[in-house]
Structure 1
C-alpha cells in the first residue's frame, strides 16, 4: 500500500505524525505499526518510531496475537492502561503480555488507525516508563493523531492507484497505436517481400528495442531465411545467411514448438546454437512464431534488447498480437504471389486492376477520385469517437464504356481488425466491377470472398452503377441503407431497392439489382449507418435531419451538401461514418428502349425479327440499318437459344434521334460465345463473324446468373 509513488513522502509524513503524537499525549515514545499480510494471514510491522530506537521494537513479529495488542490491531477499540504491570487484563510478570525484548512500559495508550470505511491500516502505540501518565486528553490527542495517519496512508494509496492507472492507460494506448500502425502497414503490403522489409523497423521503433528480425521458412521447410536483426554484429549476420531448424536457438525453437520463447542474460548461452556466437550487446531475446490460420508455421518474429529486464508479460502479449497480424498478412500475400506467378499473361483489364490494387496500398481509402464527364462527387469519412481507423469505406470505379460504379460499405466494428478486412473487401469489389460484373454479381462474389476469409465478421455494402450518357442507374445492396435521391423537382426520397443479406452470412445469398432512369439533374447520396444512427434514437432522427439538409441545400454543390450533412449529424459518433454525394448533370443523349422475352425455341427467331421490324419502323430507322440489325438479331438470338437452351431476352435501345442503335440478347448461361472459322461448305459457325462485320462494336457482359451479348450500330 505504501510502495511505489509517494513511499518516501508517506514515511516522512508518518514520522512527523508519530513525533507529534508523542508530544501531544505526553508519552516517552510512540510507534506507528503498518498493517501488511504475509503467507500466514497477516502481521503488523514497525513503520515509524519516535522517542526510542526502532531496533528495540520487535521486527515482523505477529503482535496481533499478543493479548494486550489484539483489541487495537483488530480495530475494535482504544486501549488505555494506567499500569500494564498491574492490569489484570494482560497478565502479570515482568512483561505483562508484552513481547520479549520490548522496551519497558508502565503507562500504555493504543489507538487503531482505520479508514472512513473502517478498513484497518494499523495502530498508533504510546508508552511511558512511569504509571498513570495518560488521561482523557491524551486519548483525544491520540485519536486525532490516528486520524491524520489514516488520511496520509489513504491519500498515498489513492495517489499510487491513480499513477498506476495512468501508466497502464499510457501503455495500452502505445500498444494499441502499434497494432493500428501494423494493420495499416500490412494492408498496404502487396507482397511477402514488402512485409519482410517493412515490419521489423516499425516494431523496432514501437518497442524501443535494439532490433527486430522477421525470418520465414524456406520452400523446403528446413531453414529460416531473411535479414538478421541489425542489433547483431555485421560479421555475425554475414555468417548466417540462413538458420537451419536443426540449430537450437530461440527462433528455431519457437517455430518447432509453436510457442513464444523468452531468453535473457546467461540463459542465452545455454542454447547450443548461440554458444561462441558474437551477439554484440544483445542480452534479451523474445521469439514468437508466425502461424497461419491452421496453426502451421510460416516463420518467426524475434525482438532483441540490450537490457535483459525489458521483456514483461505486456510486451510478450503485444508481440504475440503483432505476430498474429503478420501471419494472416503473410498467408494472404503468399497466395497473391502464387497467383501472380501462375497468371503472368494478364489481359489489359487485369493489368488495370493490378494498378488499382497498387494504388489501394497507398491508403485504406482512395486518395483521389476520378474526374467524371457528367458527375461531380463529394466524399466524407469520419472515424468513431476515440478511434483512428474503422471499417467504413467508399470507392468510385470508372469503366471504359462510360459507366461509373459508386461503392459504399461498412465492415462490422470500428477497430484495426475491421480496417484490415475493409481493405480486402474494397479490393474484391473493385476487382469484380472492373472485370465487367454488374452490381448484383459483384456483391455475390464478394460475399464468397468474405466467407472464405473466415473472419467471423460481416459487412454491408451498396453499389450504384450509373451510365453517364443515358442516366440508367443500377443499384444493388447487401443489407446496407438504401441511397437517397434528390430529383430535379427538389423532392427527397429513399430508392426502393431490395435490401439483400449482409456479406459474410449466407453462402447462398443472391442479390437483386434495381434499375431506374435519371432523366434530369439529380443528386444521389450514399451513406453508412454511422451518419444517421445514434444509441438513443436509432436512425429515424438522423435520416430526418439528412433529408432536411438535402432539401434545404438542393441548389448547392455536392461539396456543400456533404458539409451540411456532416455538420448536421445529431449525435456523437459511436460508429464510423462515410458519405458519398453524387451531382449528376443528367443524360447527354435521349434513350428509348423496347424489349421482349423469347422462349427456348428456334421458331422464336422469326418472332424476334418481327418484333425488331415493328420497333425500328416506329422509331423511323432507315432500311439499311434495319437490314443489318435483322441479321445481327437473328444470329444473336439463334446462338442464345441453340447453345444455352434457356429463354432469351431481346432488348433494343435507341440513343438520341437515331444516333446509335444497340441490340442486346441475354440468356441464362455464363459461357461466353467464341468466334470460330467456318469452311466454305459449313452450314454454321459464321454468326459472330457476321456480327463483327455489320456492327460498329459488340461485346459480352456478365449479368446475374447469365450474360448479355450486345452489338451497336450507327445508322447510315
Structure 2
C-alpha cells in the first residue's frame, strides 16, 4: 500500500494512543485528593508546554490558559462535581508560545467512590483550532453572556454594601466580582479638580502605572474617557501604540491585547473612570459593551455615595472634634483619662461629651453628658451645652445651680432635645467631692483596695425638661438645694478612681417580648464593674480596657468615658481647709475669724508671719462687711504649692479696685495694704457674687 503524504506507517487497526496523537488529542489524569495532575506527551504538545515547565498541578495550566478562562473552567468543573454529574466539557481560549490566540477543548470523566464523593478526573485535552466554524461558538456565547451578566449582578450586590471609597476599591480585587471579567488589570481613577487620581489597581496579574495624578487633558485613554464622557474601546495592541504613545511603553512588555476605559458618570457629572485590560484580541460585541456600560454606571453610583459619605463623615468628625475639648489639662493631684468612640450607625457623630475644668487651689471639675440623638444637630447642641455649663461652673456657681441654669438654657434653645449629665466638683486636697446628676448613670468608684461599687448620687431630671415643681427655681439665681438638682457629697481617698461614662459603654443587646431585641443596661453595668475591679490601676490602661468592652456587641450608640484617679496628697497633717461664716450685725464674727486664722497659721509652721497674714485677712473681711449687705464667707487653706491662701466671698458683683488715697482719706488703703503684705492677690467671680483672695508663701518646717 502506498504511503499517504509524510505520515508514518500506522498499523491496522490503529492503536488508541496513535489515534489520539494524530488528532492532537492528549489525556490528563487529575487526583482530586492530592491535587496532582498528569499530562501525557500529546497534551503537553497541544498546550506547547515543555515537561520541565509543567508543575504537575492544575495551576500549571496558567502559562497557556488566561486567568479569566481558568476561573470559568474551574466554575464548570465545580458545578459538575457538586451536581453529581459524571462528565463535563468546555471550550477555553488558550495562548500559543508565541502569544497568538488559540482554542482548546477539555472533556473529563468524574470517578466517585461508593458514597458519591468525587476523587479523580480522567479526561481528554485537544486542539480545537480545526473545529468547523468558531469553536464552541454557541456554548461560548451563552457562557460569555451568563458570565458577564453574573459579573454585573455580583458586583452590584457587593457595591450595595460599600460605604467608603476603600470599600469600592476592594471590589476591584474581589475574585467573585470583576475578576470574572477576564481582565488582567483593573484600575479606578477619581476626578480631583483638573486631574485624575489613580486610587486603586486590582491585583489580577499586571499593573499598568498610568501616572498617579493624570491631567484630564492628557493623551491617555482614561483622561479621554473623562474628558468626552464616552467609553474608550481599544481592540488591539496597535491601537494602544498609535493612539496613546505615552501609555505604550507600559503596555508593550505585557500580554495586554485589548482594553476598555469607562467614564463613571453620576447625576450628569464625571466623578472618575474605570480601566479594564485584557489579553484577548478583537472588538467588543454590542452586548459586551452594553454590559460594561451598565457595570460602569453601577460603580459610579456607589462611588458617588461613598464620596458623599466620606465628605459627610469628615464634616461630622471635624464638628465632633470642635465640640469636644481640644486637650485635657494636667491637674496636680490626679490622673485623668478620657475616651470617645463614635456610633457605628448613623453619621458617626453624636451628643456624648466630657470635660475637665481646673478650678484652682487643688480643685477640679469633671463632667460627662449625653445629648439625645446621633446627628450633627445633637453634636451642635452638645457643644453649646458643654460650653455654657463650663461657663456657669467657672463663674463660681455651685454644682446644683450650674446644672439648673444649664437646664434652663437648653429649654430656651427650643431644640426639643434633652440631655443627661453628671458633674463632680472635687477638692483634691481633702478628697471631698460634690456630685450632681441630671438623669444620668450613677458613677462608679474603685477604691484603693480594689473594691468597686456604684455611688448612689441623688438625681434630678435630664437637662432641658421642665421641673417637676412649677414653683421651683430652675433659672439664674437658683440655689443649690431648691433648684431640683440636689448635691451628694462623697470622699475620694488617695488611690480611688472615679469612673464616669455614658450609656453607650454599657448597652448590650438583649431579648424582649416577641423576640424584639432591647438593650440590657444592667448586664452591661455588671460587666463594666467587673472590668473596673479587675482592670489595671493606671487610668490610661484602664480606659483602653473599658473601651474594648463595647467590641462587636455594641456600636449602636456613641460612647464617652472619663476616669479620674486621686493621687496621694502632698499636704502635711493639719493642712485641711478652715471655713468661717461672717454674719451681718455679728460683732464677734471678725474676732473669731482672726483667732482661727492665727491658730491655723501657727499649726502650719508660719508663726513669724502670723501678723501679716492676720492683717491682710482682716482687711478683706472688713471690705466684705462694710461694702456689701449679704453674708460673707472666709476660708483659709494650705495649697499644694506650699502657700497659705485666704479667700473672702460675698454677694456683691462689684469688683474692688486698688486706688491711691490722699493724706486725709479715712478709707481706700485696704487693698494697697494687702498688695504690700501678700505675695499675690486677686478677684474671682463666684456665681452671684465674688471672691477676693490673697496668698502667702511660707516655708514648711520640721513637724508642721
Q: Normalised by the size of structure 1, how large is the TM-score?
A: 0.46
